[in-house]
Amino acid sequence: MRKWKLVSVVILAAALAFLAVARAQTDRSSAAKMNAKSAAFDPHDLSGIWNPAPFMHPKDEVDVLDLSGHPNPLPPFTPAGEATYLANAKFIAAGAVLDCDPFGTARNFFTPRPFEILLTHDRLLQHFEYYDNWREIWTDGRKIPDDVEPDYMGYSIGRWDGDAFVVDSAAYNGKQFLTWQGFPIGESLHQTERWQRMDQDTLKIVFTFDDPKNYTKPWSVTGFWKLRKDWTLDAHPCTLSAIKEYDERVNHADKLPGRDYGAPTKK
């Protein structure tokens, strides 16, 4: 009996030792997998083609990708901002005469098309597929100049705050919409973006719009994009032929003011 007990103790000790080794190996394997996953991407490397992921949009925020014509909730409009929005929305619902003016930074983001990020030593270049729009984000430490000429795309500077890329944009000319729904833009708009690469395939950007002419307070929305390693951007320039085709197919059919592309008539 004593011999049997001794054998049992030896077997139990061996089993416990085996379990300890196995658990240690499992822990090391899990840690290795976690380290490999975290090391699989550089959070400071934003290069590549990113495609919108509207299914990740927070449900309680203004849906800047909603094309139904009835976004809910709406941003905090001032009376002037609401009046401009309603006029813009009516224009869009009627057919919205197409032109080749740049969409501006926000509306380019909120277009259901991808964009590509290219990095250089002093700036980040953003190439939007729709209308072939380009944006420069300066990363060389400069400030937004006081005398810069207002533009559709504004003037953008960027810096790193830990693993977040923070972008400040201003100097907009106020001639575009903030979104497809017709949310207005004022020349005083200050747009802030906080970019974070959440994992290998996910980019999160939090936008904050500060435009006292059109909104009673700064308001924010969150967007998500997915990395597409096997994609290239399509050529999608805005051309005179595209405007003509749209004008003839849509605007004339809706009896909106059209453009006359024929030879000028003699008086």
Q: What angle do CA 260, 262, 264 make, to 5 degrees?
A: 90
In this prediction, residue 62 carries a pLDDT of: 94
- For the chain (267 residues), the mean pLDDT of every run of 10, in chain order, is 50 51 56 55 95 93 83 94 92 69 92 94 96 95 95 97 98 93 94 97 98 98 96 84 69 47 46
Residue 205 DSSP code: E
In this prediction, residue 31 carries a pLDDT of: 53
> If you compute the radius of gyration of the chain from its CA atoms, what whole number of angstroms results?
27
In this prediction, residue 92 carries a pLDDT of: 79
Q: Alpha-carbon distance 223 to 197, whole Å? A: 12
Question: What one-character-per-residue DSSP string does 131-200 give?
Answer: BT-EEEEE-SSPPPPTTPPPBSS-EEEEEEETTEEEEEEE-B-S-SBSSTT--B--TT-EEEEEEEEEET
In this prediction, residue 267 carries a pLDDT of: 47
In this prediction, residue 214 carries a pLDDT of: 98
In this prediction, residue 117 carries a pLDDT of: 98
In this prediction, residue 90 carries a pLDDT of: 84
